[in-house]
Amino acid sequence: MKLYNTLSKKLERIKPRGDEISIYVCGITPYDTTHLGHAFTYTSVDILIRYLESKGTKVRYVQNVTDIDDDILRRAKEVGEDWLYLGNRWTRHFIQDMQSLNVRAPDHFPRASEAIPEIIEWVKRLVDTGVAYESGDSVYYSVDAWDAFGELSSIERQDMLPIANERGNHPDDPAKRDPLDFVLWQAMAPGEPAWESPWGPGRPGWHIECSTLSTKYLGETIDIHSGGADLCFPHHECEIAQVEPVTNEQPFVKVWMHTAMVYHEGEKMSKSLGNLVWVRELLESYSPNTLRLYMGKHHYRREWSYSEEDLKIAAEQANLIEQALAVENGEGDELSAATALMEFEEAMENDLDTPVAISVMVNLAGDILASREGSVGDAQKVLMGMSKVFGMRFSGGVEDRVLEGWELHLGRF
Residue 16 has a pLDDT of 85
Q: How confident is the model at residue 67 (pLDDT cuts 50, 70, 90)?
A: very high
**What range does the domain containing 146 cover?**
2-264
- At position 350, the amino acid (one-letter code) is N
The answer to whether residue 401 is domain-embedded is no
Q: What is the mean pLDDT of the chain?
A: 95
Q: Is the dihedral of CA 37, 38, 40, 41 positive or negative?
A: positive
CATH number of the domain where residue 162 is located: 3.40.50.620
Question: Rounded distance, CA 58 to CA 53, Å?
Answer: 6
Whether residue 313 is contained in a domain is answered as: no
Q: Is the pLDDT of residue 400 over 90?
A: no
If pLDDT is split at 50, 70 and 90, which confidence band does 56 have?
very high
The rounded distance, in Å, linking the Cα atoms of 12 and 380 is: 33
What pLDDT, on a 0 to 100 scale, did the predictor assign at position 218? 97
Res 17: pLDDT: 79
DSSP codes of every residue in 207-263: HHHHHHHHHHHH-SSEEEEEEEGGGIIIIIHHHHHHHHHHH--S-SEEEEEEEPPEE
Confidence (pLDDT) at 330:
85
For 38-48, write each residue's pLDDT tens digit: 999 999 999 99
| Whether pLDDT at 35 is above 90 | yes
- High-pLDDT (> 90) share of the chain, %: 91
- pLDDT of 249: 82
Q: Is the pLDDT of residue 273 over 80?
A: no
Total domains in the fold of the chain: 1
Q: Note the pLDDT tens digit of each residue in 133-150.
A: 999 999 999 999 999 999
Angstrom distance (rounded) from CA 357 to CA 57: 20
Quickly list DSSP for 291-320: HHHHHHTS-TTS-EE--HHHHHHHHHHHHH
Q: Is the pLDDT reported for residue 271 higher than 90?
A: no
Q: What is the mean pLDDT of residues 229-237?
A: 97
Give the SS3 label for residue 28: coil
Q: Is the pLDDT of residue 292 over 90?
A: yes
Q: What average pLDDT does the segment 232-246 reach? A: 98
For the entire predicted model, the pTM comes to: 0.96
pLDDT one-digit tens code per residue, 315-369? 999 999 999 999 998 888 899 999 999 999 999 999 999 999 999 999 999 999 9
Q: How large is the angle between the packed helices 83-100 and 70-79, nearest 10 degrees?
A: 110
Is residue 340 in a domain? Answer: no
Average pLDDT, integer, range 257-274: 87
> Does residue 317 fall inside a structural domain?
no
Whether the predicted pLDDT of 93 surpasses 90: yes
pLDDT range class, residue 31, cuts 50, 70, 90: very high
Q: Tell me how long the chain is.
A: 413
φ/ψ (deg, to 5) at 259: -90, 145
Q: Does a structural domain hold residue 368?
A: no
